[in-house]
Chains A and B, each alone.
Chain A
């Protein structure tokens, strides 16, 4: 089993912290991820709703680029993961679409046999392939006392993804208990963050974001763990606007789960991209883990 890595556009720009932390964590765990050469954008949510055939062809190109040396394609972004997975499935199950996609790929000298590449979300790879024992063994800075609210969002847990309960996922919850954190079992962890709704109708988007922040705050979470750039952006960047809109006072740092995993593995916070978020996470983390972190650095 060898893993190809598909970072996706967001990880090169707005969510560089995710990319940094993924690479740092993977290195620390002694695990190989080979970035796919010449990958292209997955089209996010928009392309699929505009033109299914073109979207499928564009995404299939990435699957076709995976060489014979790799049989797994790992995506950290929930939308990329879903699109890649959906395309593989569409090609396998719908001969009409597949025929046209095959044509499009052939024009570029490529071909793809559905099912050849196993599309995986990074969480699944960390949870299933690396697993509890290996991760626990590498924890040098337990997250004791830190209350984390794992947030899955709505894309990664769709039934076709098949690696966690689609109604009430638990794998990120479990992983953070391995790291010693207090995991907040709050009810909206798989509810939608609104996606691009902020661009269409702010008030609807704000209400969706508020529900997530409110529930995490009600359960006294210190921070929210994300695994999707869109979710992180919505809850972090819009948090101030949500506060103004509803007259609330949320001040919840929104970080990528790989950033906190990195902290637990003892990686320097700078290498993990902390500081790029708007609601600063570092002070909260330091306050909670202070005594222990000082001891660890000595």
Chain B
């Protein structure tokens, strides 16, 4: 029986109609393509009126198939499937072909874009004839959630879910949760003490009955899919018995080995070989740094072990793999600071009194190595003048094209702290001041009033090569002041480089494990940049905080909460729909060669020993088609992507090439798919 196909071509305002003659295509399809019963164009097919039109046609015209030519399936496949479903048609008998992102948005020539759209519609019409009705599947959602990253975004997400009554596994790579926020002295623009607002959240997370804290641990492996992920966590060897330790700190106090703390103290202070990163660390369980511990170096010392009142030191502890099962994953892995040595003309690492912004955070932190006294590298001289250089590695084609967003405000915060604590002059070298959140501009105005000096221009170099006596012994900041149009030299005592926020070194690797991707810059890609900022293209995996792009504390907290709300929604619903687009093995014909079992990237194919055949576990299958292509006997079928469907689609797209040679009219009918 011939199908009755409805074709619907969307203008998308002028998004498609501006480059593609949609009216002509709709008319052409109605007149020339086999089995097309109805063909229409409409301004916005996704509007309720557009959907209604499709629904009414299905009922009145007894359509058996629907083709929509509009935007990406990522945006509206669900919309049109629902419309078909409402009208009583199986939603998988609808095909949405993309004539916007794949056509009107990427082509300049109207005539050529129209021809391409015509070919795409023709392809969809040929394909849809062979689509089969499918029934969606449902899986239960495991109410436990994995949060990766214990910075402020991850903490917020974990606490929201835990408070709602759901269990959370909070995994943190460092020995303590807290993230970068724990390193800061003050937060802008309110000048709240960073630790004072963060540590209550940390200890709440540490004591929460619904939170399992896994610090000094990293994600090893993820399998499964939304609703039922199986996760392996590597608990790195702390060399301290987590349960026996009381956090008394005597081991830290007595440890004879001091090393430079390049992590929490950003290289500004020391720590011991056995250490807690900072006094308010959560959990209060130290770790032994095996690279610097004397015992691991030359089997001597054991001071900590001898003095520990609860015998908690375990030198022979090994890394441990922990298996957990969760329904959803929230990634909140944050950022790393730009390496300022990549801009050698700014002198970091070569000129002693050039600091990175993280170093300066520690320098002015009351709990930092100088107890908050702002002094130069000699440890005693108070600087009389400080230059703050903006956009170091940000807004720079040679490094990162993006704006890091937080540095302008952090510079103002530094300016305020310096003016409050010293008599130093503070110069800020900026390209543009970006202070566009609540109360930020007001803070900028406040600093203008407090006497911080602003020079608009990108610093060309920081040097110690003095040209005149007033520059002797100083660091000279050379910059074109673009407001007065002159090259200027500013001799100062100290320079602070406001380095860019960059993605974590292993962001791509972690993304791959969880099945999500990064943008060109290396930040995780959200499902939609405006309308779905915390979801990702992988169901059940969410992102929050700076791992998705540079942002400040309020925005990170908001995203942490948003991701938690999305997860809570999934848990409350209890089950999640899974696309029925999966592979099926014809077990009668399977030879049991096991090639597909090893090829499957999702471990979704099991081998049944008794009949000696492979079988797809449909809940895990993503429908990627790898096994379909790999099967030497050709007995695996990919639903919704079977050979008949694909070959028909190809014939459809080549409609004009398949014309009989003697017929030159472009209006001629395409050769039916079955003819070849």
Query: At the interface, yes or no: B465 with Cβ under 8 Å from chain A?
Result: yes
| Chain B contacts for A187, CB-based, 8 A | 347, 461, 463-465
Q: Is the beta-carbon distance between B344 and A211 smaller than 8 angstroms?
A: no
Inter-chain contact total with CB atoms closer than 8 Å: 23
Q: Is the beta-carbon distance between A168 and B344 smaller than 8 angstroms?
A: yes
Query: At the interface, yes or no: A185 with Cβ under 8 Å from chain B?
Result: yes
Question: A182-206 vs B: 1/0 string, CB under 8 Å?
Answer: 0001111000000000000000000
B464 to chain A, nearest CB (A): 6
B473 to chain A, nearest CB (A): 11
Q: Is the beta-carbon distance between A167 and B463 smaller than 8 angstroms?
A: no
Q: Is the beta-carbon distance between B345 and A188 smaller than 8 angstroms?
A: no
Interface residues of B in 81-107 (CB under 8 A from A): none
With A and B bound together, what is the CA distance between A167 and B345 in angstroms?
6
Q: Is the beta-carbon distance between A165 and B344 smaller than 8 angstroms?
A: yes
B472 to chain A, nearest CB (A): 10
| Chain A contacts for B350, CB-based, 8 A | 185
B120 to chain A, nearest CB (A): 38
Q: Is the beta-carbon distance between A167 and B465 smaller than 8 angstroms?
A: no
Query: At the interface, yes or no: A161 with Cβ under 8 Å from chain B?
Result: no
Q: Is the beta-carbon distance between B465 and A186 smaller than 8 angstroms?
A: yes
Closest chain B residue to A190 by CB distance? B345
Query: At the interface, yes or no: B343 with Cβ under 8 Å from chain A?
Result: yes
Query: At the interface, yes or no: B467 with Cβ under 8 Å from chain A?
Result: yes
With A and B bound together, what is the CA distance between A211 and B466 in angstroms?
8
Query: At the interface, yes or no: A215 with Cβ under 8 Å from chain B?
Result: yes
| Chain B contacts for A168, CB-based, 8 A | 344-345
| Chain B contacts for A186, CB-based, 8 A | 465
B258 to chain A, nearest CB (A): 29
Select the residue from A167, A186, A187 with max chain B CB neighbours within 10 A.
A187
- Residues of chain A at interface, number, CB under 8 A: 12
Q: Is the beta-carbon distance between A215 and B465 smaller than 8 angstroms?
A: yes
Interface residues of A in 189-244 (CB under 8 A from B): 211, 214-215, 218
| Chain A contacts for B347, CB-based, 8 A | 187
Closest chain B residue to A170 by CB distance? B344
In-complex Cβ contact of A167 among B461, B464, B466, B467 (8 A):
B461
| Chain B contacts for A165, CB-based, 8 A | 344
| Chain B contacts for A211, CB-based, 8 A | 465, 467
| Chain A contacts for B461, CB-based, 8 A | 167, 187
Closest chain B residue to A187 by CB distance? B463
| Chain A contacts for B463, CB-based, 8 A | 187-188
With A and B bound together, what is the CA distance between A185 and B461 in angstroms?
15
Interface residues of A in 134-173 (CB under 8 A from B): 165, 167-168, 170
Q: Is the beta-carbon distance between B344 and A214 smaller than 8 angstroms?
A: no
Interface residues of B in 437-466 (CB under 8 A from A): 461, 463-466
With A and B bound together, what is the CA distance between A27 and B261 in angstroms?
51
In-complex Cβ contact of B344 among A167, A188, A215, A218 (8 A):
A167
| Chain B contacts for A188, CB-based, 8 A | 463, 465
With A and B bound together, what is the CA distance between A55 and B10 in angstroms?
59
With A and B bound together, what is the CA distance between A170 and B344 in angstroms?
10
With A and B bound together, what is the CA distance between A118 and B517 in angstroms?
39
Closest 4 CB pairs of A and B: A168-B344, A187-B463, A167-B345, A215-B465
Known: A188-B463, A214-B465. 11 other contacts (CB 8 A): A165-B344, A167-B461, A168-B344, A168-B345, A186-B465, A187-B347, A187-B461, A187-B464, A214-B466, A215-B465, A218-B465
